[in-house]
Chains A and B, each alone.
Chain A
């Protein structure tokens, strides 16, 4: 059993929970995820580890309430136990000293880039991050991000905070050398996590610049150990299992259109069970 030791609402619909999971905490690396089963009738859902503390044996999960299971999890209280957590899963993000790395997070994706940005910084990179949300109320982890980045840019779709617009618009300015601080600086890697449309837009934008762009794919998963193929996706001309071959992939090779369709496979069922809440 995995006890919830802390819980905090970060924004409307976004909740942080801290859970006792000593074995997982000991092995966790940036970019890896866990599978969580809320209760004995629950489904298995993947969640990225936003943080962990090896000494205290805890991991932090940040989840957006988008449906039945995330809603149930967000409703759990401190002291409650989560039935099952398996991890750490997937390959850790490849962290190297490269030079300048731009990390881009959209919505709850900010929680997923936080540890990666931190790891790149620690490896001696110059880390620039762009984080975006629909509006000010939905923006999370600004302080935490600022602490691990050399520079942090913020966008909101409605302009209620930071720059008005999408993360890609700001990224384009940086790549075009329009932001004064970044003029003539080469970008060595881009790491983007967020909604599929965002990851796709980032990848399309960076392709002509030939900057390596890594995205973390949020496919639908069941076992998350490579046994079912629910998470399959097309990368280049290859079929990949996101849970064991990923979740990080080269954004320039990912078939986002197919991915977009695959995450909608259970729309009708998701609605049915949401109505039981």
Chain B
């Protein structure tokens, strides 16, 4: 039997921002680890974008050696407590697990989290073996400086990997708190900020120098960094540009982009206003537009703030890109879905605030580029949803700011930064990775890019020595 993680009950959790999932108990973890077939040629590893030795860490758990399990994971993954919580395992490792043929894959995500959480109330350390390796390699690159722009999962991963092999790493973040989407986007009840904080502490303990309140391109330019003796730069500035629907009424009061809504709540703690000074103005009936992780996060925040909330999505549940677990969690929290529904206009009251959302019904037509069936409008099916707050969660695009102020940085037509196969941009010594080169993606793929960037940067700098 696949072990189910313990959860806060829906009735209770919709009234607080505490973490929904409570993880596996020790007995559960061992029972789950016992189910692992320890395949000779494990498929799960192929499904992991950063190639964690999954059967090896599971076998440590089985032997009750939780810390060693964690060290095993940390050989590849600098942020295990985070990945265990937010990775879409069902599309990655667990999808390729042999037991998935019978629909009962090993709960790899929960086991990763179980291993990682053993350090939650202690200081994080690298394994003795890794520490030894790092020391050996330290000498050659000790005087080499690398700068990183952006402290999301991509930037953090590169920073940690380069620091481990001895580089002096300067990590810059424009916001006042590091972590990227992990801090400003994903809510507390899915990823507690103490965990992000903990992982940041670990990365600083490796010697990485973190500077917040620095907007690369404005506070310091790439040329400034090179002039300060930096030998390579990694751009990991993410896909933070919110998309809107371009429908009438989008600039009314109480219409938020998902990013504004989540930033006010998560980063600025508006849910604790006025103890925290940042306000948020939400009516009593909220519509969230979209079907991805971001939309679900917004909707579940609104529910926790006691608002009557519904999700408006133009396709069907099957096409929703959100993590399966979160869709199920949201359902049990009572979130209604308005499927095959496309908003076309936001209605205004006399003061310029939302007083309704006009929508049109959709039906599924032929498949589009993404392979999902394209929704097409049903003529004369307009109707108005009685809502007073609208949150638009229809995607984010690459952050354009750095590109705009950096001459010679080549940008692709879709706004991503152009890179070659070694993640080098059009400027020599400047690398890029994560959502800024792929568009909005996942934590683990950003980390994958971060790992690759660390290898490429190391190779590049050694050539200069």
Contact = CB atoms under 8 A, between A and B. Distances in A.
Interface of A: 23-24, 27, 37-38, 41-44, 68-69, 83-89, 222-223, 225-230, 232-234, 239, 244, 258, 261-262, 264-266, 268-270, 272-273, 276
B281 interface: yes
B219 A27 contact: yes
B209 interface: no
Given A87-B219, A262-B253, A268-B281, 5 more contacts: A87-B218, A229-B260, A239-B246, A244-B400, A262-B251
Contacts of A230: 260
Interface string B238-253: 0011101010001111
Nearest to B174: A225
B275 A41 contact: yes
A239 B242 CA distance: 12
Contacts of B365: none
Contacts of B212: 84
Interface of B: 174-176, 184, 212-215, 218-220, 240-242, 244, 246, 250-254, 256-257, 259-260, 263-264, 268-269, 273-281, 351-353, 399-401, 404
A234 B248 CA distance: 12
9 contacts: A23-B214, A41-B276, A43-B279, A83-B176, A86-B176, A229-B244, A261-B351, A266-B281, A272-B273
Contacts of B219: 23-24, 27, 86-88
A183 B250 CA distance: 46
B218 to A, nearest CB: 6
A86 B175 CA distance: 8
Contacts of A222: 260, 263-264, 268, 278
A232 B251 contact: yes
Contacts of A228: 242, 257, 259-260, 263
Most chain A CB within a 10 A radius of its CB, from B213, B264, B269, B274? B213
Contacts of B276: 41, 43
Chain B: interface secondary structure? Answer: loop
Most chain A CB within a 10 A radius of its CB, from B212, B214, B220, B263? B263
A244 B175 contact: no
Nearest to A272: B274
A84 B254 CA distance: 28
Contacts of B353: 265
A44 B268 contact: yes
Contacts of A262: 251, 253, 352
A220 B461 CA distance: 43
A84 B176 contact: yes
A37 B273 contact: no
A122 B219 CA distance: 24
B277 A273 contact: yes
A229 B259 contact: yes
A234 B176 CA distance: 29
B190 to A, nearest CB: 20
A269 B280 contact: yes
Nearest to A23: B219
Contacts of B280: 269
Chain A: interface secondary structure? Answer: mixed
A276 B278 contact: no
B176 A37 contact: yes
A53 B3 CA distance: 63
A239 B274 contact: no
Nearest to B392: A229
A236 B399 CA distance: 23
B273 to A, nearest CB: 7
B351 to A, nearest CB: 7
Q: Which 6 A/B pairs are nearest by Cβ-Cβ distance? A: A269-B279, A261-B352, A228-B260, A227-B240, A43-B278, A229-B257
A273 B277 CA distance: 7
A270 B175 contact: no
Contacts of A44: 176, 268, 278
Nearest to A268: B281
Contact of B242 (A42, A43, A229, A261): A229
B150 to A, nearest CB: 11
A84 B213 contact: yes
Contacts of A69: 277
A86 B244 contact: no
Contacts of B351: 261, 264
B218 A265 contact: no
Contacts of B246: 239
Contacts of B259: 227-229
A265 B261 CA distance: 14
Given A261-B253, A265-B281, A268-B281, A227 B241 contact: yes
Contacts of A270: 279
A223 B263 contact: yes
A43 B265 CA distance: 12
B241 A27 contact: no
A258 B241 contact: no
Contacts of B257: 228-229
A63 B175 CA distance: 22
B399 A226 contact: yes
A273 B279 contact: yes
Contacts of B260: 222, 228-230
A258 B348 CA distance: 12
A276 B274 contact: yes
Given A227-B259, A234-B251, A273-B274, A89 B215 contact: yes
